[in-house]
Structure 1
């Protein structure tokens, strides 16, 4: 990756809806060169996708939490099974496998605290591998959705 690739990534993180011509103008390249570089970044997996950001409050899912789960036995099959289960739940935004006193952090967005309670009691705690969980409500959710790419020294 060089400075031009880094510039393309920076611009696309700010606005992924730029046309190739607009992107080329912003990074100082010809549109054909920009397209070749963008496609190479996509093929290599550096540019992993283009996504719409949804305001969760406006769709009725304004209560967010991080839920730390402990599971046993801690085996590959249990880890994979719990991950698959959690990701299949419509309230789940992300699942993290972590080290420490908990095994998973699960980021959820729900309409209400009652809905979260129901989800935890009816679905998650009903799983035999779950031996405990701890819920932390998110009062404010601020994220940095951009990475400042740097050109690699050649």
Structure 2
């Protein structure tokens, strides 16, 4: 999909506030509301916009501690990697994860109640799995998502 400067402007605005009303989007970008609506629909259909989410305060849902867990697999095969990936998707404590190149294979962002919950979760979710060779846990003191969107493609004319 070729994106122009209007598309990039819409994506930036929606990244900062996915609930921005269509009329406000149109005004900020300098297009008609019907044009903004059609462009956002087209961006969704082309999967330039993959979804919308609400940023939830962790404490509001009982998350008192967050951590990043680096996971190293014992062996690498499509079956083991895909199986571990699917395992992570089934764990409610997993907020996000990254499949990596380098010394560690996965970096897993978890949200738990407290240190005891983290210990029990790490033992059950990672160390008891035969494909896991090593884990290393780092506590998160603060998490902020950058609302800015880096754009590395040029807008089409």
TM-score, length basis structure 2: 0.90
- In structure 2, the partner of 1:107 is 109
Q: CA deviation at 1:143?
A: 2.5
- In structure 2, the partner of 1:20 is 22
- Select which of 64, 67, 70 maps to 2:69: 67
Mapped to 1, the partners of 2:76 and 2:150 lie a distance apart of: 36
Q: CA deviation at 1:27?
A: 1.2
Structure 1 residues 118-137: aligned runs within 5 Å: 118-137=120-139
Mapped to 1, the partners of 2:141 and 2:76 lie a distance apart of: 31
- In structure 1, the partner of 2:155 is 152
Quote the RMSD (CA, aligned, Å): 1.5
How many residues in Structure 1 have an aligned counterpart in Structure 2? 154
Please say if residues 6 and 29 of structure 2, whose CA atoms lie closer than 8 Å, have aligned partners that are also in contact. yes
Q: CA deviation at 1:147?
A: 0.6
Structure 2 spans left out of the alignment, 5+ residues: none
Structure 1 residues 57-96: aligned runs within 5 Å: 57-96=59-98
Q: Specify the SS of the correspondent of 2:155.
A: coil
- 2:144 pairs with 1:142: yes
Q: Specify the SS of the correspondent of 1:109.
A: strand
Please say if residues 5 and 151 of structure 1, whose CA atoms lie closer than 8 Å, have aligned partners that are also in contact. no
Please say if residues 71 and 107 of structure 2, whose CA atoms lie closer than 8 Å, have aligned partners that are also in contact. yes
TM-score, length basis structure 1: 0.92
